[in-house]
A and B are shown apart, each in its own frame.
Chain A
């Protein structure tokens, strides 16, 4: 498995370092001293970090450490949960506070797409799945929709596999294909940021390798934040890695640095498997 993904990982890390150096001046997403609570239970404590444009940032840490919570704050999907809110600090996307009362949350979610842990295409056709984002945005032009569907499926490296059965149910696809379809669906609305919440957790190694390869390609156009439990995956796909523990950001650094010479003792213990 490691061998199959090794070549792209090497080739893209060189290209990403160029992109990273140009973007490090001004991070696209800034998380400023964020406290977050579900009702009375506080789950994030003073998280402070910047996420650079066109880089892959990985969130790692043991279950319940708050990494998914933070991810779900970025597109405000946590609004769905009663009593869940940021109690202190703010998150800015391109210098706009995403929790500002005047902010259009629909527009935010179009800019910040999300891929979920369990691949969950709608029980509709492949075409309808990808066209969903455009249709809810009020797009009526059939030609534009068809073009966007093709572009999105190509970006998600799924087009060749499904071009002859676009109008069949998405549930007939394999798990890996379904997850790539979900990525295509997210890309269809041209987001700037793509959030991925353990996108490979339910996939076999080969499907995982394909998704990881896809992430490398997407990095050219999108800013990606990925939550993962798989530390090798973090090494393979990400430029920067953030380690969370008990709701606190413990360490945030270049992936290579963090994994080879962790500064914090807790990070070191987690990476070596003595914790979590």
Chain B
């Protein structure tokens, strides 16, 4: 062993010098890693902020640990009263009258904050209904047209144009979809009625009743159809990919066994494409749940004091009534009312609940997909 003679701090003599190419490689890797961390940081920041601020509103220390009031009451105006000793009372309109009466001259001031009291049952129910109807409409229309495009349609110029049109649909801004929904579903879609409205575009007598193109009004149905159209391009494109991924051999075998085209699709193509179709539909459906612009002209109200089935239409109201919806409620709370320390509760609470809802939806779909995939894998 020859120890270095003159210096104890000599660099490792066996270390390989970093070449130019290695430095370059290291730089590229660092940039890519940095970009990933930026995204990670942003996501973590958003989620943590919402969880930290929102979870105290939904959860509480004593049984049943969940703030049931926030989930089971409709939104209402929050009244904040302050007496001359500095005590603060937060209450609903009825409570405010009682406290005012009790305090008499002792009342220093009263503040009212719209929509920030009570709970958010209305928006939760509304979003649930919109998403549910939207899933049914979007999956039915989307999968049907994907099947037609990939299994039946003759390949050619026309079909290429149809595909291009569908892809372009994905680039249309959601507010345009909202206005489209307003024009088509709210004002022009056909309904069966004996007494057509004056504004109906066209009335076709059918004998026993009349078909009137007068629209579905602002309703769950109008909103859900509009949302369905927003996510259709995603669902069609993804479904077509999944159908094409099913081996040609399954189709040939099935036909060779004497199955019809539709039997082949129904029994030997669709079941094997379904896990993939559902996976990609998750993204679309989560997006539909969060869209604000398409529903604001077609389904959502800033405030409504009744649940959809409590109106005149009874249970049918789940389709025909207008509703409150979480994304629109969040928008209302954030942009339509004066901000102060009392409005935060409803704001963060709504956002937190909304986040949990969307995540539940996604988890459910993932579980469903896993179950299907275990059953039909090849």
- Whether both chains belong to one complex is answered with yes
Q: How far is the CA of A136 from the CA of B249 in the complex (A)?
A: 17
Expressed in whole angstroms, the minimum distance between the Cβ of B253 and any Cβ of chain A is: 6
Expressed in whole angstroms, the minimum distance between the Cβ of A120 and any Cβ of chain B is: 4
Is A199 in the interface zone, CB < 8 Å from B?
Answer: no
Q: In the complex the two chains form, is B254's CB within 8 Å of A132's CB?
A: yes
Contact residue range for chain A? 20 to 34
| A189 partner residues in chain B, CB cutoff 8 A | 257-258
- With most chain A CB atoms within 10 A of its CB, the pick from B247, B253, B256, B377 is B256
Is A77 in the interface zone, CB < 8 Å from B?
Answer: yes
B-contact bits for A162-195, CB 8 A (1 contact / 0 none):
0000000001000000000010011011000000
Q: In the complex the two chains form, is A106's CB within 8 Å of B253's CB?
A: no
Is A89 in the interface zone, CB < 8 Å from B?
Answer: no
Expressed in whole angstroms, the minimum distance between the Cβ of A145 and any Cβ of chain B is: 14
> Considering only CB atoms and an 8 Å cut-off, how many residues of chain B contact the other chain?
22
Is B259 in the interface zone, CB < 8 Å from A?
Answer: yes
**Stretch among B237-245, B260-268, B298-306, B343-351 lining the A interface:** B260-268
Q: Tell me the nearest residue of chain B to A107, going by C-beta.
A: B258
Is B154 in the interface zone, CB < 8 Å from A?
Answer: yes
* Given A171-B378, A182-B253, CB of A82 within 8 Å of CB of B258: no
Q: In the complex the two chains form, is B258's CB within 8 Å of A116's CB?
A: no
B-contact bits for A113-139, CB 8 A (1 contact / 0 none):
110101010111000000011011100
Is B180 in the interface zone, CB < 8 Å from A?
Answer: no
Q: How far is the CA of A112 from the CA of B37 in the complex (A)?
A: 61
Is B354 in the interface zone, CB < 8 Å from A?
Answer: no
B-contact bits for A78-121, CB 8 A (1 contact / 0 none):
00101000000000000000000000001101100110101010
Is B272 in the interface zone, CB < 8 Å from A?
Answer: yes
| B257 partner residues in chain A, CB cutoff 8 A | 109-110, 113, 132-133, 136, 185-186, 188-189
Is A75 in the interface zone, CB < 8 Å from B?
Answer: yes
Q: How far is the CA of A225 from the CA of B9 in the complex (A)?
A: 84
Interface residues of A in 137-160 (CB under 8 A from B): 137
- With most chain A CB atoms within 10 A of its CB, the pick from B247, B257, B260, B267 is B257
Q: How far is the CA of A77 from the CA of B256 in the complex (A)?
A: 7
| A171 partner residues in chain B, CB cutoff 8 A | 377-378
| A118 partner residues in chain B, CB cutoff 8 A | 249
Q: In the complex the two chains form, is B258's CB within 8 Å of A137's CB?
A: yes
| B96 partner residues in chain A, CB cutoff 8 A | none
Is B100 in the interface zone, CB < 8 Å from A?
Answer: no
Q: In the complex the two chains form, is A136's CB within 8 Å of B377's CB?
A: no
Expressed in whole angstroms, the minimum distance between the Cβ of A214 and any Cβ of chain B is: 18
The interface residues of chain B, by DSSP majority, are classed as helix
Q: Tell me the nearest residue of chain A to B154, going by C-beta.
A: A82
Expressed in whole angstroms, the minimum distance between the Cβ of B156 and any Cβ of chain A is: 9
Q: Tell me the nearest residue of chain B to A75, going by C-beta.
A: B256
* Given A120-B250, A132-B267, CB of A186 within 8 Å of CB of B376: no
| A136 partner residues in chain B, CB cutoff 8 A | 254, 257-260, 263, 267
- Among A82, A113, A116, A137, the residue within 8 A (CB) of B249 is A116
Q: How far is the CA of A82 from the CA of B155 in the complex (A)?
A: 8
Q: In the complex the two chains form, is A123's CB within 8 Å of B272's CB?
A: yes
Q: In the complex the two chains form, is B256's CB within 8 Å of A109's CB?
A: yes
| B155 partner residues in chain A, CB cutoff 8 A | 82
Q: Tell me the nearest residue of chain B to A136, going by C-beta.
A: B259
Is B252 in the interface zone, CB < 8 Å from A?
Answer: yes
A-contact bits for B223-253, CB 8 A (1 contact / 0 none):
0000000000000000000000001011111
Q: In the complex the two chains form, is A106's CB within 8 Å of B260's CB?
A: yes
Is B255 in the interface zone, CB < 8 Å from A?
Answer: yes
Q: In the complex the two chains form, is A109's CB within 8 Å of B249's CB?
A: no
Q: How far is the CA of A135 from the CA of B377 in the complex (A)?
A: 21
Q: In the complex the two chains form, is B247's CB within 8 Å of A120's CB?
A: yes
Q: In the complex the two chains form, is B258's CB within 8 Å of A110's CB?
A: yes
Q: Tell me the nearest residue of chain A to B155, going by C-beta.
A: A82
| A75 partner residues in chain B, CB cutoff 8 A | 256
Q: How far is the CA of A110 from the CA of B255 in the complex (A)?
A: 9
Q: How far is the CA of A189 from the CA of B258 in the complex (A)?
A: 9
Q: In the complex the two chains form, is B252's CB within 8 Å of A106's CB?
A: no
Q: How far is the CA of A135 from the CA of B251 in the complex (A)?
A: 16
- Among B251, B258, B376, B377, the residue within 8 A (CB) of A109 is B258
Q: How far is the CA of A106 from the CA of B250 in the complex (A)?
A: 16
Q: In the complex the two chains form, is B258's CB within 8 Å of A133's CB?
A: yes
| B378 partner residues in chain A, CB cutoff 8 A | 122-123, 171
Q: How far is the CA of A82 from the CA of B247 in the complex (A)?
A: 17
Q: In the complex the two chains form, is A80's CB within 8 Å of B252's CB?
A: yes
| 20 cross-chain CB contacts under 8 A | A80-B251, A106-B258, A106-B259, A109-B258, A110-B257, A113-B257, A116-B249, A116-B253, A116-B256, A118-B249, A120-B247, A120-B249, A120-B250, A122-B378, A123-B272, A123-B376, A123-B377, A124-B376, A133-B257, A136-B258
- The residues of B with any CB-CB pair to A shorter than 8 Å are 154-155, 247, 249-260, 263, 267-268, 272, 376-378
A122-B268, A123-B272, A186-B257 are known contacts; what are 10 more A-B pairs with Cβ within 8 Å? A77-B256, A80-B252, A80-B255, A116-B249, A116-B252, A122-B378, A123-B378, A132-B257, A136-B259, A171-B377
